Chain A
Amino acid sequence: MNVILIFIQKAIAQGISILFGAVGEIITEKSGNLNLGIPGLMYMGGIAGLMGAFLYEKGVENPSPFKGLIISFICAFICAVLGAFLYSVLTVTLRANQNVVGLALTIFGVGFGNFFGGSISKIAGGVGQISVAVTASAYQTKIPLLSKIPIIGQTLFSYGFLTYLGIILAILTTFFLNKTQIGLNLRSVGEDPAAADAAGIDVAKYKYLSTMLGGGIAGLGGLYFVMEYLGGTWTNNGFGDRGWLAIALVIFAVWNSYNAIRGSILFGALYILYLYMEGLSRGSQELFKMLPYVVTIIVLIITSMRNKRESQPPKSLGQAYFREER
Chain B
Amino acid sequence: MNIRINGKRKKNYIYLKKRDQISMKKSIGIRIIAIIMALIFCALIIIPITHLNPLQIYLEIINGAIGNKRRIWVTIKDILILFIISVGLVPAYKMKFWNIGAEGQILMGGVATAAAMIYYGDYFPNWLLLVIIFIVSSIAGMIWGVIPAIFKAYFNTNETLFTLMMNYIAIQIVAFCVIFWEKPKGSNTVGIINSATKQGWFPPIFNLTYGMNIILVLIITILVFIYLKYTKHGYEIAVVGSSINTAKYININVKKVIIRTMALSGAICGLAGSIIVSGASHTISTATAGGRGFTAIIVAWMSKFHPVAMIFVSGLLIFMEKGSIQIASLYGLNENASDIITGIIIFFLIGCEFFINYEIKLKKD
Spell out A's residues near B (CB within 8 Å): 34, 36, 86, 89-90, 93-97, 99-101, 103-119, 122-123, 236, 241, 244, 247-248, 251, 281-284, 286-287, 289-290, 293-294, 296-297, 300-301, 304-305, 307, 313, 318, 322, 324-325
Contacts and interface: CB of A to CB of B under 8 A. Distances in A.
Interface in B320-365: 328, 331-334, 336-340, 342-344, 346-347, 350-351, 353-354, 357-358
B16 interface: yes
A90 B353 CA distance: 10
Contact of B339 (A107, A117, A289): A107
Interface stretch (B206-214, B240-248, B291-299): B291-299
B38 to A, nearest CB: 12
B98 interface: yes
A300 B162 contact: yes
Contacts of A313: 158
Contacts of A300: 157-158, 161-162, 165
Contact of A96 (B156, B173, B351): B351
A236 B254 CA distance: 44
24 contacts: A90-B347, A90-B351, A103-B295, A103-B297, A106-B294, A107-B295, A107-B346, A108-B340, A108-B346, A109-B343, A111-B339, A111-B343, A112-B340, A112-B343, A115-B337, A122-B332, A236-B334, A244-B167, A244-B168, A248-B164, A284-B176, A300-B161, A300-B162, A307-B155
Contacts of B295: 103, 107
Contacts of B157: 300-301, 304-305
A90 B176 CA distance: 39
Contact of B302 (A100, A113, A305): A100
A175 B176 CA distance: 42
Nearest to B287: A237
Contacts of A304: 151, 155-158
Interface of B: 15-18, 49, 98, 100, 151, 155-158, 160-162, 164-169, 171-173, 175-176, 179-180, 291, 294-295, 297-298, 301-302, 328, 331-334, 336-340, 342-344, 346-347, 350-351, 353-354, 357-358
A104 B343 contact: yes
Give the dominant DSSP class at A's interface.
helix
A150 B338 CA distance: 50
A304 B342 CA distance: 36
B343 A107 contact: yes
Contact of B354 (A96, A99, A105, A293): A96
B168 A241 contact: yes
A52 to B, nearest CB: 18
Nearest to B295: A107
A100 to B, nearest CB: 5
B172 A324 contact: no
A185 to B, nearest CB: 24
Q: Nearest 3 CB-CB pairs, A to B?
A: A111-B339, A108-B343, A118-B334
Contacts of A100: 297-298, 301-302, 350
A244 B170 CA distance: 14
Given A90-B350, A118-B333, 5 more contacts: A99-B100, A107-B294, A115-B328, A287-B176, A313-B158
Contacts of B344: 108
B337 A297 contact: no
A294 B346 contact: no
A115 B340 contact: yes
